[in-house]
Amino acid sequence: MARLLAFILANRALSAGLAILTAICIVAVLGPLLVDTALSRVGAVPPRLPPSQLYPFGTDGQGREMFTVIIVALPQTLKIGVTAGLISLAIGVALGLIAGFVGGLLDAVIRTASDVMMTIPGIAVMVLIAANVREMTVTLMAVIIASLSWMIATRMIRAQTLSLRDRGYVQIAILNGASPLRLVFVEVLPNLMPFIAASFVMTVSQAMLATIGLEALGLGPQNELTLGVTIYWAQFYSAVVRGMWWWWAIPIGALALIFVGLMLTSIGMDGFVNKRIGVRS
Amino acid sequence: MTAPVLDVAGLSVEYRTSSGPAFAVTDVSFSVQPGGRIGLVGESGSGKSTTVLALMRLLRNGSIAAGSARLEGVELTGLSESAMRATRFARMSLVPQGAMSSLNPVLRISEQIGDIFDDHGIRHGAAARRAILDTLLNRVGLAAAVQDRFPHQLSGGMKQRVCIAMAIALEPALILADEPTSALDVMVQKQVMATLGRVQADIGAGIVLIGHDMALMAHFVDDLGVMYAGRMVERGPVRRLFAAPHHPYTLLLIEALPTFRARGRFRGIPGVAPSLLTQVAGCPFHPRCPMAVDRCRTETPALRPVAGAQGHVAACHRAEDVSR
Amino acid sequence: MYLDYIARRFGVMLLVIFLAVSINFLIPRLMPGDPVEAQLMQLLSQGGGNLGDIAAMVDSYRARFGLDQPLWRQYFAYWESVLTFDLGFSLANYPERVASAISGALPWTLGLLGTATLISFVFGTLLGGLMGWPQARRAWRIFGSGVLLLSSIPYFLIGMVLLYLFVIVWPVFPAGGGLPFGQTPGLNWQTVQGIAWHAALPLASIVLAETGAWAIGMRGMIVSVLGEDHITLAEAKGLRPGRIFNRYAMRSAMLPQVTRLALAMAHIVSGAILVEVIFSYPGVGFRLFQAIQAKDFFVIQGIVLMLTVTLAVATFILDLIYPLIDPRITLRRKG
């Protein structure tokens, strides 16, 4: 554990990324407990006011207090991204392990399915589904997005499983008569952890990207405030043209922070992951 | 005696590692006469390849800590980068280990050899260049058509010969051959070494042959230097070394060679080479040496001339006892 | 064998198209209620359309798509209409046909995407190469890191910022649309200028974000190429550093970048859609947005289908080309 910490600290990108993400998570968890969420509803405060001492992030065109909005919307956005990410990851790891370990026809099927799904532009399917759904909720969004983000994790895990399968200690375990379950959980999975972690970060990034995209198009959750939905409303009420920059710029800033954090973490993990694969450097 | 083509004196090379400096090469000296052949033999990690990389000044994460290397009288360690670049392949060339991966996979052979001429300022018209490459390839026993191929279309032996062709393209005075045949099977090895020897004689260059194959050395080189843990432990005319080795390590290397007559168990050398991170007190070989005495643990033996032989030196406190 | 490979990729492409059409067909029908009527009723409730017109349309659709017929019959009918490029009518702009709505918007999107991708790919690859090459100036690495950070942000968010800065704060560029208002396109310099001016910001949004993605990919490739033996030998040969960078490092590192192009396309398209929305750029993405707003169901379906099929075909073409340009790939069996 101490070694892990030392490693993280030594890797600048990784520590910066994790620091940002941790800070965001803290705000997301503690924030709603510390503000009056009623201020984030329509008509709570006088509208269209620029940032001031009273309203540090200003107020939007519909009378919501922006600071509260951000605090409330942040956890929702994270919820969708992380939930979708976790579901995708679970699917991806399961499929990747199966494809890599079992091989043969099952592998071919999974691989083809993943190839095919990757070619379909996610947004296309999501728009289709979202446009047909009568009431979009956070959970439903997460599920829809998850169903289109599992491919990256599958590919990565499959590749790693394939290479690990031929390693000495796995072969020995098989010769010793280890059951497949034991093989997976004791021999293979621990060594896959770095890749699973890296896949998780990438999957969450992609999920968040898809979420924001859908929300900005107006297909997001209707009754809950997320960062993307906030931007949608800003766009809808022509906030950009009307100079109400605080309505859309601040959510963008928050989103940018999240994405930068995710990317730095991903870059940091890249270095670690590659070392394990044994890429010549 | 004529001036040597290469004169290495007291060369030491250190690598920067996250655990501190690694003393890859310590106080190594040898020389090569024009047209002469010297071999550097030793196990993995003994510093042979590092020596060669150091001479070419291609060390990554490492530097020459001490010593000198004079090529045709010019001190290599002090040359500027551009002067060094001009020297590479023009006065001193390299036949790399593993030709498989040393050739650029996306360029044709003609372009890869042509690059050498171009970047050393030698221009030719298209037809003239083609003709020159033809001749060059023929010299190493390859058909002219190889010019237009990509590396992956050639066999291992052919690729190695292309590397040899590149090494002699500018007719340098010295060729450094870093285990040129390690990855090849025995028959091809023989052919490639024959080619190498022939072209070397043709252009009158000196050769430094790196390897771990004592048998190969016996057939090819004039002088042999035995390296262990970055130091040179014995050096001298190759026949002399085989007939009367004066270092236990040399003796063990020779005895490890299988012969037709001796049947029974193979004799390996037990133990592993020491880590290069620490400078060992005493002789670096003493933990594995069957002849070690107390003195070996505390006092590093110096390379001393062996009695009754010209140009034969060994670094062992019990050098005289080795061959008995 | 190359043929085996082509056959496989072709198969995947067909599978994708099949899936796309089927999903397109199934999803609305899986939702409770008559899809057409539901949409139309919603339209009505929003005050759009004329009751008489709509009733006529509903009837013609009912008959056409045989919504009263068994599902599999409808399925085949759908395939038939798709293959004849008859994607139905636009509900919001009746009697405009979906197909013509799309074909009007398509050139704009293609132009924007094509140019943006080309610029990002070229700049990004070069930048990535310079970032990974130890002998290159350090300034490139610093500049590159900045670009990289930008690339983590979705295109359209950058677009919004650009819109604000360069249209509202410093009115340099026009606020939206493809051409200056009221100008009709023609084969003249004025048209070209108009298009360029309006495309500048959308283009910039995509390029700023995409370049970083290409750069980081290329940098990774260059770093791993650096460790390879042929670079060492190139240095040993005394070649000029510039030549080593170009012919030895970049060339062999660049080829995998091209495969990435195939994978990246879906991602680029998704991003571009949103950029069009921000800038009201009259491409397919913007039309899609309008259709979503207006609950113009058939247009949504049509655009989604077209996007998917186009991407599948484009990916296939790239898959075909790649083995031909990389001499390392021998899809022929040896010996």
Contact residues on chain A for C301, CB-CB shorter than 8 A: 128
In a domain, C299, yes or no: no
Number of compact structural domains in chain C: 2
Q: Judge whether C316 lies within some domain.
A: no
**Listed residue (C301, C297, C317, C252) closest to C41, CA to CA:** C297
Q: Cα dist. A265→A75, A202, C253 in Å?
A: 20, 9, 25
| pLDDT of C31 | 56
Other residues' Cβ atoms within 10 Å of the Cβ of residue A271:
15
Inter-chain contacts counted by CB atoms under 8 A, chains A and C = 137
Residues of A in contact with C228 (CB under 8 A): 280
Q: In chain A, which residue's Cα lies nearest the Cα of C278?
A: A235
């060594």: which residue's tokens? A191
Strands (E), chain A: none
Q: Which of B85, B101, B150 lies at the smallest CB-CB distance from C230?
A: B101
Same domain as C190, residue C135: yes
Domain of C164: which CATH number? 1.10.3720.10
Judge whether C261 lies within some domain.
Answer: yes
- Domain-embedded: residue C102: no
What CA–CA distance (Å, rounded) separates C147 from B105?
31
Check residue A50 and report its DSSP letter. Answer: P
Pairing assessment for the beta strands B223-228 and B37-41 based on DSSP bridges: parallel
Given a cut of 80, whether residue A189 has pLDDT beyond it is no
Residue A281: pLDDT above 60?
no
Burial of B168 (0-12, 13-18, 19+ CB in 10 A): buried
Q: Do B104 and C230 touch (CB under 8 A)?
A: yes
Tokens describing residue B63: 């530097």
Paired with B93 in beta bridges are B175
Would you state the pLDDT for residue A277? 43
Beta bridge partners of C292: none
Out of C15, C23, C152, name the one closest to residue A259 (CB).
Answer: C152
3-state secondary structure of B65: strand
| DSSP 8-class letter at A91 | H
Cα–Cα distance between C254 and C221 in angstroms, integer?
A: 8
Residue with tokens 């990289």: C148
Q: What's the rounded Cα separation, in Å, for the pair B281 and B298?
A: 6
- Beta carbons of B58 and C235 less than 8 Å apart: yes
In this structure, the answer to whether residues C249 and C156 fall within a common structural domain is: yes
- Kindly state the average pLDDT of the residues A101-115: 81
Q: Give per-residue pLDDT as tens, B168-221.
A: 999 999 999 998 888 788 888 888 899 999 998 989 999 999 988 888 888 899
Name the average pLDDT for chain C. Answer: 77
Contact at CB, B115 and C232, closer than 8 angstroms: no
How many C-beta neighbours within 10 Å does residue C316 have?
Answer: 21
A100 and A165 Cβ atoms separated by less than 8 Å: yes
Residue C306 covered by a domain? no
On chain C, the residues whose CB falls within 8 A of the CB of A115 are 12
CA angle C103, A132, A210 (to 5 degrees): 75
What's the pLDDT score for residue A273? 61
Range with lowest mean pLDDT among B11-20, B254-263, C227-236: B254-263
C49 within domain boundaries? yes
Are residue C123 and residue C251 in the same domain, yes or no?
yes
- Do A263 and C312 count as a contact with CB atoms less than 8 A apart? no
Nearest by CB to residue B119, choosing from C232, C243, C326, is C243
Residue C332 has pLDDT above 70, yes or no: no
Which sequence spans correspond to the domains of chain A?
55-277
Same domain, C136 and C273: yes
> Tokens 């196990």 identify what position?
B43
pLDDT digits (tens, 9 = 90+) for C183-237: 666 677 777 777 788 888 888 888 988 888 888 888 888 887 877 888 888 888 8
pLDDT at B267: 65
Task: Please tell me which of the candidates A112, A128, A133 has its beta carbon nearest to residue C12.
Answer: A112
* Residue C214 distance to chain B (closest CA, Å): 21
Whether the pLDDT of residue A19 is over 60: the answer is yes
Show residues of chain A in contact with C206, CB under 8 Å.
none
B7 beta partners = B31, B70
Residues C76 and C141 in one domain: no
Interface test with B, best of C237, C324, C328, C331 (most B CBs within 10 A): C237
CB–CB of B88 and C237 under 8 A?
A: yes
Q: Which of C150, C160, C261 to mutate to test the interface with A (most CBs of A within 10 A)?
A: C160
Instruction: With H, G, I as helix, E, B as strand and everything else as coil, classify residue B10.
Output: strand
Contacts of C252 in chain B (CB under 8 A): 104-106
Report whether the peptide linkage leading into residue C28 is cis, meaning its omega lies within 30 degrees of zero: no
Place B222 in a pLDDT band, splitting at 50, 70 and 90.
Answer: very high
Q: Which residue of A has its CA nearest to C19?
A: A116
Average of per-residue pLDDT across C236-263: 82
- pLDDT value of residue B38: 93
Number of Cβ pairs < 8 A linking chain B and chain C: 78
**Mutation site for C-interface testing, chosen from B57, B87, B95, B104 by largest number of C Cβ within 10 Å:** B104
For residue A114, give both structure tokens: 């993943």
The pLDDT of residue B176 is 93
Q: How far apart are CA C224 and CA C204, in angstroms?
A: 31
For residue C233, the chain B residues in CB contact (below 8 A) are 94, 96, 102-103, 163
Chain-centroid distance of CA C103 in Å reads: 15
Whether the pLDDT of residue C331 is over 50: the answer is no
Using an 8 Å CB-CB cutoff, list chain B residues near C230. 101-105
Residues of A in contact with C227 (CB under 8 A): 279-281
Same-domain check for residues C136 and C239: yes
pLDDT band at B224, cuts 50/70/90?
very high
Q: Which residues in chain C have their CB less than 8 angstroms from residue B168's CB?
A: none
Which residues from chain A sit within 8 angstroms of residue C161, using beta carbons? 249, 252
* C162 and C268 fall within a common domain: yes
More confident residue, B164 or A5: B164
Chain C contact for B111 (CB, 8 A cutoff) = yes
Which domain covers residue C78, as residue numbers?
A: 2-83
Nearest to A131 among C164, C273, C292 (CB): C292
Q: Is A217 helix (H, G, I), strand (E, B) or coil?
A: coil
Considering the domain architecture, whether residues C112 and C260 belong to the same structural domain is answered as yes
In a domain, C227, yes or no: yes
Supply the mean pLDDT for chain A.
Answer: 79
Same domain, C116 and C64: no
Q: Is A271 on the interface with C (CB under 8 A)?
A: no
Same domain, C60 and C117: no
Pair A220, A136: CB distance under 8 Å: yes
Taking residues C91-116, report their average pLDDT: 79
Closest CA to B37 of B9, B10, B5, B75: B5
Write the pLDDT tens digit of every residue in A219-268: 777 778 888 888 888 888 878 777 788 888 888 888 888 888 888 888 77
**Which ipTM score applies to this complex?**
0.82
Beta-strand runs (E) in C89-148: none
- A41/A181: higher pLDDT: A41
Specify the higher pLDDT residue, C257 or B136: B136
Q: pLDDT grade, residue C65 (50/70/90)? A: low
Pinpoint the alpha helices (H) of C237-296.
241-243, 251-279, 284-293
In a domain, C64, yes or no: yes
- Tell me what percent of the residues of chain B surpass a pLDDT of 90: 27
Class of domain A55-277: mainly alpha
Separation between Cα atoms, residue B163 and residue B50, nearest integer Å = 19
Q: Do A231 and C160 touch (CB under 8 A)?
A: yes
pLDDT band at A80 (very low <50, low <70, confident <90, very high): confident
Is any Cβ of chain B less than 8 angstroms from the Cβ of C228? yes
Same domain for C121 and C79: no
**Is the separation of the CB atoms in A28 and A78 below 8 Å?**
yes
Could you report the per-residue pLDDT of C7-53, keeping only the tens digit for each?
A: 888 888 888 888 878 877 776 666 554 556 655 665 566 555 555 66
Q: Residue B131 is inside which H or E element, if any?
A: helix B126-139
Distance from the Cα of A261 to chain C's closest Cα (Å) equals 9
pLDDT score recorded for residue C32: 52
**What is the nearest CA distance from B104 to chain C, expressed in angstroms?**
5
- Cα A22-A25-A31 angle, rounded to 5 deg: 130
Q: Show residues of chain A in contact with C149, CB under 8 Å.
A: 260, 263
CA dihedral sign of residues C58, C59, C65, C71 = positive
Mean pLDDT in residue range B294-304: 84
